[in-house]
Amino acid sequence: MKTIDELLSEGVAGKRVFVRADLNVPLDGTTITDDGRIRAVVPTVKALADGGARVIVASHLGRPKGAPDPVFSLAPAAARLGELLGADVAFAEDTVGTAAEAAVNGLADGRVAVIENLRFNPGETSKDDTERAAFADKLAGLADVYVGDGFGAVHRKHASVFDLPKRLPHYAGYLIATEVGVLKKLTDDVERPYVVALGGAKVSDKLAVIDQLLGKADRLLIGGGMAYTFLKAQGHEVGISLLQEDQVPVVKEYMERAEKSGVELVLPVDVLVATEFPDLKTKAPANPATVAADAIPADQEGLDIGPETRKLYASKLADAATVFWNGPMGVFEHPDYAEGTKAVAQALVDAPGFTVVGGGDSAAAVRTLGFDENAFGHISTGGGASLEYLEGKTLPGLAALED
């Protein structure tokens, strides 16, 4: 795929450049609680603006139902982008209507505008090719050039991600180029030992990537809510812990495959349990108990890996030359259940090799728990996109940039 450096070498002064970013940041009302994705697109936007381009930044935020919804407005993200750029950023209160046209037409060379949430238009996410194409045609009318830099959305066959690049000269922004380069280090000529730590709520979300990794990774460390389906597959009581009973047969098969293929599959040896899920708003003390992973009481719920598991996982990461981590080890949003996730993050910091935090909740956890982002080899902006790449899937947004 052609990159933004090639575009800049050709000259962008006076050109209208559409940047498909990922500004899908978490909000508490109108307050951004983690601006990592906005910061990630700044280098691309700044380079284009410095080159004299008229930059139109577009993104989705949340899951509005194809119509304007103030809860999902990009206005806070546009304001934060302006702060990070140190320049005024215009904001259009629609996507392809009169406000967007006025904002774009009013741009001077080197200035930036953000248009409203793309998902306010049903054509953005439509499964109907004709409806999606019609929206892409309208977006194309706003610009002369397309730059894809929203890595967190490249696994979606959406109008601004898949259809729009076909209508304009297209290039990969700095973020996408970096993300793809990192993922190639996890799939091509991987330095070993290669250790993958997987957490999060549902094992079903990770089965496809586990299937691929059983032939590539040296060790798989399993935590989070998905661990209890593995423990159940071993025949253990998991109480009222998160469990996907229908996935137990598949998990058993994967455990057998891991053993046959020489992949070390490491499960929790102890967990923190409680009778109810903690209050994440008040952060009231939960007073969890620590029990062996094979001795979870029938009326208790596992909510984090225990102290012995933390030590075990740290030891399994200590000599890693390559690490990929996706998914927290427990309910890290509550201080009583944050130690497992914190221990894995610290083990990545201490590991001698190349460490990748695979986006989503893992990236949020790193920032929430106060880690220096520069202590990791790479923090991805797209958890779902990273996983699908590792699964070997073709990502529509990347395929569109490669044409």
Catalytic residues: 37, 202, 360, 384
Q: Is 181 annotated as a binding residue?
A: no
Q: Is 14 annotated as a binding residue?
A: no
Nearest to 380 by CA among 153, 100, 171: 153
Nearest to 241 by CA among 220, 256, 223: 223
The amino acid at 287: N
Whether residue 229 contacts residue 251, with contact meaning beta carbons closer than 8 Å, is answered with: yes
Q: Is 333 annotated as a binding residue?
A: yes
Q: Is 155 annotated as a binding residue?
A: no
Q: Is 260 annotated as a binding residue?
A: no
Whether residue 133 contacts residue 159, with contact meaning beta carbons closer than 8 Å, is answered with: yes
Question: Distance from CA of residue 379 to its chain's centroid?
Answer: 9
Q: Is 306 annotated as a binding residue?
A: no
Q: Is residue 91 classed as helix, strand or coil in its secondary structure?
A: strand
Q: Is 124 annotated as a binding residue?
A: no
- Token pair 């950023």 is at which residue? 89
Q: Is 353 annotated as a binding residue?
A: no
Q: Is residue 179 classed as helix, strand or coil in its secondary structure?
A: helix
Q: Is 223 annotated as a binding residue?
A: no
Residue 11 region, left (φ>0) first, then alpha (ψ -120 to 50), else beta? left
Q: 313-350 in b/e burial notation, b at 16+ Cβ within 10 A? A: bbebbeebebbbbbbbbbbbbbebbbbbbbbbbbbbee
Q: Is 60 annotated as a binding residue?
A: yes
Q: Is 360 annotated as a binding residue?
A: yes
Q: Is 5 annotated as a binding residue?
A: no
Whether residue 309 contacts residue 270, with contact meaning beta carbons closer than 8 Å, is answered with: yes
Q: Is 63 annotated as a binding residue?
A: yes
Q: Is 199 annotated as a binding residue?
A: no
Q: Is 359 annotated as a binding residue?
A: yes
Q: Is 86 annotated as a binding residue?
A: no
CA distances to 5, 75, 78, 116 from 69, rounded to whole Å, are: 36, 12, 16, 10
Q: Is 206 annotated as a binding residue?
A: yes
Nearest to 266 by CA among 279, 255, 282, 274: 255
- Token pair 């009222």 is at which residue? 240
Binding residues: 22-24, 37, 60-63, 119, 156, 206, 302, 333, 359-362
Binding residues for ATP: 206, 302, 333, 359-362
Binding residues for (2R)-3-phosphoglycerate: 37, 119, 156
